[in-house]
Amino acid sequence: MATADDTPVGRRLRSVKHIIIVCSGKGGVGKSSVSTQLALSLRASSPHARVGVLDVDLTGPSIPRMLGLDGHAVHQSSDGWVPVYADGGEARLGCMSVGFLLKRREDSVVWRGPKKNAMIRQFLADVRWGELDYLVIDTPPGTSDEHLSLVEHMAPVHARVSAVIVTTPQAVALLDAMKCLSFTRATAIPVLGLIENMSGYLCPCCGEISNVFSTGGGEEMARREGLRFLGSLPVDTELVSLLDAAQAENPESVEQLGDGGSARSFQLLERYQKTSTAPLFKAIVDKLLQALPPQVTSIENTGIEAA
């Protein structure tokens, strides 16, 4: 791996300590919501932690809305694209998504593989993240162009890449999660663990817990496959509304925020920490931090365990 750092991606990501890919074979299981929560929790995990979120779901970007950054645009600097910061001047939570590049929200990105590949390479090579402790990468469903491109372009920093698999408990979703696991094994990316999302729903009316999408399937799969089970998250309507409505009501306010930052949207973190999911997620992040490979300084020290 002598030429390891020589690609533009390698050079750019040299200043990133950990790269965490959030994936799942199935769509709509909560990858973006987990990515968002992961970024928020990691940022809160230490007073100086710097986190980046990269949304490579090119045809269905959801991260901007969840972080309350709908309608922002990306700025160009001499040193590359400036990420949009969710916490304004503090600039400890940066975000990049194709959603920031669209003129209108409802514009569809109808791209075949080669164009997606080029976009992902640009995202990895051209975004001026600066020093980052964690780069969380949200992926689209499936195991196709986006995923292969990610893995290919990140080959120079492979030792710092790990994955988190998100699933819901029903069999149909677990089937796709298995495919995702096979993908991480084929590409030798260590899996930090598995999160079971939408596991049970607490009726706001009578407090009865219903297993809307069944329950326990994720834990069972983790045991069978020898994965670390990071925890299960029930459906939290409060959280759904928080991430869904994240401050999009006021399109005019976007103007005055300027410079890719927004102080207002960072009420999001405060509000997030009040939801009932936040403490559950904190436990997940704690487990996840333990699972992270120790900070590697030399490339030779690979963190490949799952191979």
Partner 1 sequence: MIALQQSAPAPDPLSVPSNAPEHCPGTESELAGKADACAGCANQEICASGQARGPDPALPLVRQRMSSVRRKILVLSGKGGVGKSTFTAQLGWAFAADEQLQTGIMDVDICGPSIPTILGIASEQVHASSSGWSPVYVQDNLGVMSVGFMLPSSKDAVMWRGPKKNGLISQFLKDVDWGELDYLVIDTPPGTSDEHLSIVQYLKESGIDGAIVITTPQEVALQDVRREIDFCRKVGIRVLGLVENMSGFVCPNCKNESQIFKPSTGGGRRLAQDMGVDFLGAVPLDPRIGKSADYGISFLDEYPDSPASAAYLDIIDREFSIFRCLLFEKSHVHRDQAKARKLSRSHIL
**Tokens standing for residue 109:** 């990105």
Strand duo 93-97 + 84-85: pairing: antiparallel
State which of residues 46, 59, 76, 301 lies at the interface with partner 1 (CB under 8 A): 59
Q: Which of 60, 80, 130, 293 binds partner 1 (CB under 8 A)?
A: 60
Q: How far is the CB of 279 from partner 1 (least distance, A)?
A: 21
Burial of 89 (0-12, 13-18, 19+ CB in 10 A): exposed
> Cβ–Cβ contacts within 10 Å for residue 280, how many?
15
Tokens 């120079």 correspond to: 156
Q: Does 216 bind partner 1 (CB under 8 A)?
A: no
CA dihedral 271, 274, 280, 282 (to 10 degrees): 60
Per-residue mark of binding to partner 1, 1-40 (x: CB under 8 A):
------------------------xxxxx--x--------
- The residue (of 133 and 146) whose beta carbon lies closer to partner 1 is 146
Measuring CA to CA, how many Å separate 176 from each of 31, 50, 190, 231, 276? 13, 32, 18, 19, 28
Residue ranges of alpha helices (H) inside the chain are 8-12, 31-45, 63-66, 113-126, 145-153, 171-186, 217-225, 237-244, 251-257, 267-274, 277-291
Q: Is 27 annotated as a binding residue?
A: yes
Judged by CB under 8 A, the stretch of 1-9, 11-19, 88-96, 234-242 that binds partner 1 is 234-242
Q: Is 172 in the site for partner 1 (CB under 8 A)?
A: yes
- Residue 113, phi-psi category: left (phi > 0), alpha (psi -120 to 50), beta (remainder): alpha
Residue type for position 28: G
Interface map 120-159 toward partner 1 (x if CB under 8 A): --------------------xxxxxx-xxx--x-------
Give the range of 42-50, 102-110, 261-269, 284-292 binding partner 1 by CB under 8 A.
Answer: 102-110
Tell me which of 47, 204, 251, 279 binds partner 1, using CB under 8 A. Answer: 204
**Shortest distance in whole angstroms from residue 46 CB to partner 1:** 29
What is the dihedral sign for C-alpha 215, 60, 132, 92?
A: negative
Pick the closer one to partner 1 by CB: 152 or 305.
Answer: 152
Q: Is 261 annotated as a binding residue?
A: no
Q: Give the residue ranges of the annotated binding site for ATP.
A: 25-32
List of residues contacting partner 1 (CB under 8 A): 25-29, 32, 58-60, 62, 65-66, 105-118, 140-145, 147-149, 152, 168, 170-173, 175-176, 178-183, 186, 201, 203-206, 208, 210-214, 235, 237, 240-241, 243-245, 248
